[in-house]
Chains A and B, each alone.
Chain A
Amino acid sequence: MNTTRKKRQVALIGNPNTGKTSLFNALTGLKQRVGNYSGVTVEKKVGQWQLSEGEEVELIDLPGTYSLSAKSIDERIAVDLFTGHLAETSKPDAVIVVVDVENLKRNLFLASQLSELQVPMVIALNCWDVAERKGLQVDCKLLEQRLGVPVIPTVANRRRGRDELAAAVSHTLDKKTLMIRPAWPEPVDKAIDFLKEELVEKRNENLERAELQRLIFDQKSAVQERLKMPETESSSLIKTAREQLRTDGYNPDAAESLLRFRFLSPLLTDIIERQEALNTRSRTESIDGLLLHKFWGLVVFVGMMYIVFQSVYSWAGPFMDLIESGTGWFQDLASAQLEQMPMLQSLVVDGIVGGVGAFLVFLPQVLILFLFISLLEESGYMARAAFLMDKLFQWCGLNGKSFVPLLSSYACAIPGIMATRAINDPKARMITILVAPLMSCSARLPVYLLLIGAFIEPAYGPGVAGATLFAMHFIGAFLAAPLAWILNKTLDQGVRPEPFLMELPPYRAPRIKTTFWRIYESGKDFVVRAGTVIFAMTIVIWALLYFPRPNELAEQITTEFPAASEEEVAQHIDAAYLEQSYMGRFGKLVQPVFAPAGYDWKITVGVLASFPAREVIISTLGITYALGGEVDEESHDLREAFTRAKWESGPRKGEPVFNLAVAFSLMVFFALCMQCGATVAVIAKELNWKWAIASFVSLTAIAWVAAVLTYQIAIQFV
């Protein structure tokens, strides 16, 4: 074999819910990589597939789509790919159309659209086993004869038909088998010829006949966006052609469906044999009778969502504790080994090991949420959940599919944001991602508990304390709703709105292998792409908190507290070092910015140091108040230190720093601010860095405004 020859490329396309991705995984195994198509956030999956001894091809998994009408970005990618207009990707040498046996005709609609693009084709009749069990028989040989391309029965997750599919693809690559195309009525050809003359011959646009067809049949086709000529000019030409078709008796919007189905119907006569009634469908319908019921459906839904939420919120706890104690163990170990080199010791302990621990600790939540999401999607329930909840989200441009990601964000925004991939509408997905960090995640809880425990419970009792804690959990969601509405109204109008149309697929038992795969992929994705960023940020913050560190300061503190114990002296030294570290200096510098919210420089440093991870504020405050970094939200000493803290300078010198107004303002700030490097990294990965930084800046600004307002209003009553 000539090894320098470029590998041939085969694309895999099919309707949603046809088991296409399972087939892709079965064919390529672990030899796949995931990227993005340049310029868009559509996932590009490419795998290596060993066709035979001598040949390996590149298999491209395209997003699931019902048609090539190029309305959505997914469809446009498909059209551009097959016409060779996709940057950095050449035109595939063949295509496998994955077809669900049970919905043969509607699945072949897509195949028929592809036939216009003149790409050699193989049809994979997937879910063959399910169809057989239902007594459905398809005459593959006859279908093959009529369509003109190989038709291979496959069962994605059992690898059945894999060899036959490989042989068929080899055959198609050599023989270039094309699927039979409909003969279009004269008016359609006339409209296409008109466009060909105007666009291709007169204006030198690079368009194939299939693309001209898309311009005729689709309203506002994405193909048009690629033209070199001014949009107004092309629009008027396309309009002329479409109007001509209408005068000739064919509604241009309806013509394709009408004519293509008319063409497909006779091709399918005598192909399918039903031996008995389709039982599974009726089983699905009776399950739906319960799960989509106006009352019981909601009861089941609340129960399911409770389990999902609990799993991420509490079940992940023991695993997170395990990772934390593992991190602690490594830190102790490294600390003991490096005692002679304090700088290196601190770098390894707080920077490196702490940094790895900082992102690993999220892994249990990510994995557990994706276990449930995979089960919900595979079983077919996810679409039902979205169906039940859709109305609640419609008014702000979101849809029912936003529910699960937002709910999970209450446990942790990271898996929540990753879960938005299930939302097909790019705009709704973007808005969901941008408001997800406002949901009060579990890392905010210690901050609430500390402040409520120190200032509210002693003064107003446990009842008010509980109510405050409850209210804190809603403040973000309360703000998220109008924010989503504003985003929906203002966001880039260039993003095509996707109609909210969702299939309610038949219920299926989840496949263990697919579930495992999803969990593995999400975990790998998180560690590789977000983990590295979180790690880097932890190191940077460590350095800002550590340097500079002159020895004289330690000596000075030691002489200042002659009577104190060794531990107390060490705590005072740490506090002094923090105060004059770059972060400490920066905190003092920007303290005036936070003064309207009632913060002194110590709180400001705590707030700044907790930008990579909000829970850090407690240990940072512990250090600044010379109590050591080991304090937690239950710490009596820390609460005491709060009540004793006095302004060191400025107009309020000598007055207590903390009061009810400051406590509220601080809690509000933490409830709204995106103090989580991991979330920023995940948003950057799911959208891009521009959006990650924009959302970080705007949420910080919103949090600041809200904290200032809270303080200024509350201080009137304190």
Chain B
Amino acid sequence: MQLSKIKKDGSFRVTEVNPENGSIARLMALGLLPGKEIRLTHEAPLGDPIAIEFGGCHMSLRLDDAAHVKVEPIS
């Protein structure tokens, strides 16, 4: 499931990242790699961008870019 499609805050596990996207390539240099746990913490008032956290790193990410990260819920 694409990170951009998630409507609820919570924890997820990264299954796939698309390094072709500039923002995602940056996040990968910060350690956002498949298998990593990621948290969706906030959504801006207009629904975009979203705030995420992984490995102690809090970032703001636009939905266009978040579509390039696939995640699965942590059960």
Contact = CB atoms under 8 A, between A and B. Distances in A.
Interface string B38-62: 0001111111110100011111111
A501 B29 contact: no
A285 B51 CA distance: 11
A392 B46 contact: yes
Interface string A462-501: 0000000000000000000000000000000000011111
B19 interface: yes
A563 interface: no
Interface string B18-49: 01111101111111010000000111111111
B26 A503 contact: no
B44 A391 contact: yes
Nearest to B39: A285
B72 interface: no
A49 to B, nearest CB: 29
Given A66-B26, A257-B29, A388 B58 contact: no
Contacts of B48: 390-391, 394
B29 A387 contact: no
Contacts, number: 112
A284 B56 CA distance: 12
A69 interface: yes
A71 B25 contact: yes
**B-side interface size class:** 20 to 34
B56 A102 contact: yes
Contacts of B56: 102-103, 278, 281
Main secondary structure of the interface of A (DSSP, over half): helix
Contacts of B69: none
A294 B29 contact: no
A276 B47 CA distance: 35
Contact of B59 (A284, A295, A502): A502
Given A257-B33, A261-B31, A69 B62 contact: no
B59 A66 contact: no
10 contacts: A219-B25, A253-B25, A285-B41, A387-B42, A390-B60, A391-B44, A391-B46, A503-B58, A503-B59, A505-B58
A629 interface: no
A503 B61 CA distance: 9
A297 interface: yes
A253 B62 contact: no
B23 A391 contact: no
B33 to A, nearest CB: 6
Nearest to B59: A503
B17 interface: yes
A219 B60 CA distance: 23
A101 to B, nearest CB: 11
A700 to B, nearest CB: 35
B51 A292 contact: yes
Contacts of A254: 17, 19, 28, 33
A105 interface: yes
Nearest to A67: B29
Contacts of A102: 56
A251 B19 contact: yes
Given A106-B55, A390-B48, A288 B42 contact: yes
A288 B55 contact: no
A504 B50 CA distance: 11
Contact of A106 (B21, B22, B31, B45): B31
